[in-house]
Structure 1
Amino acid sequence: ATFVMRNREYLVAVKADEGILTLHTLHWADEIRDPRKIDTLPDQIEVDKREVEMAEQLIDALTMEWKPEEFHDTYQDEVAKLVESKRTGKTMEKAEPPAESTNVVDLMEALRASVDRAKKPEDHEAGKESAGAGSAPTGIQKGAQRRRPKKRAKATQQGSHSPSESADLDSLTKAELYQRAAEEDVPGRSSMSRDELVKSLSAKRHRQRKSSA
């Protein structure tokens, strides 16, 4: 079938699903390209075994429990904030500029750096103990240990809300802060700005320090 939405006609499929009708938007035939007719696709290449192992480590490090309630349409929230700020005469803070391209050509270095950023503190400590056990390439584990800042590791071990810890959080990117929030199970992290992530992480660690005292 077809229907009109936002002044545009869409091709759709209507399906019966558990007693209700569902509508799925589709692409028109001229919008779909045959991949066999695309000349710009790269040729089949051989992938190094170490690159595959490193990619699997990165996937494992970034995998987290799926909680649908933590994900929602942040676009509507931002529009509502913008409307409210205009109504009250306030100014909105500009979004952070996108990260500049680094033109990395060494895939192993890029994967190793990503694994190092995503590795959880407890996984990092366990990695030092099992470095010679053959669970992962020795060079990978040593590289991850060597690049982890001592100051950040010390703050994690202490678990205290100190000025050095706040400065440590301020030095992280939003992606790194989100990973920290995922590790500490901070609720609502998916819709938080960078500053909100810093405040939430600092507040949670402060509460943990008080409860342990």
Structure 2
Amino acid sequence: MFARFNPRSQPPSRRDRSENLGPRGAEYGKVYSLLEQALAKAGKAGIATFVMRQHEYLVALKAENGLLTLHTLHWADEIRDPEKEIDSLPGRAKASGKELQMAEQLIDALTMKWDPEQFHDTFQEKVAAMIEAKRSGERVEKAEPAAQPTGVVDLMEALRASVERAGSPKATGGKATASGKAAEKKPGAKKRIRSAPKEDLSGLSKADLYKKAAAADIPGRSHMSRDDLMKALSSSRT
């Protein structure tokens, strides 16, 4: 059976996981390519079921970027209605024009070009650093407690503050955006440059050094020793 189906546009509750498929052998390459091209041209996906390890699966077979992909689906009786399951959903809350405009400005200020290399598992890196610190007999600091919710806030004021933070040079790593206030330059004024005092890193544990290395985005930090972390942090500040 075939149907018009776009797994990426379907609600996540209807999909389980996705797998890339390849031909069983070289002699099946032409059949594989023919099916992929036919599905791509028709803009449809094959719907089928199969049994594996005493379990029956509902799947969608789709052509994507020259490959055949298999998307396992949930059965209809496995899908729950979130509006019935979650009693705290606000529904379509009415937002004012200014609030919506401010929220859109915040999204624009935080928009970036997607680069998956910039994201990594920081939790695993911290756990690895803690294990290494304990193995080396170093002191491991307890994590700071999570911030407590502040309750009801002024939505407009919170949005405005978020936009200003997102538009600051510190947040963007460069010049301030239109939402930030540029510093006025006084003619004839001499700019004084004061070098920041170097921080003494010798008294810090490896876990503390790793936190600073993560904040400085030092590559390869998860495999560094305590001395390597100190050297890398010192080099990054010169």
TM-score, normalised on structure 2? 0.44
TM-score, normalised on structure 1? 0.48
> Which of the pair has more CA radius of gyration?
2
**Greater percentage in helix:** 1
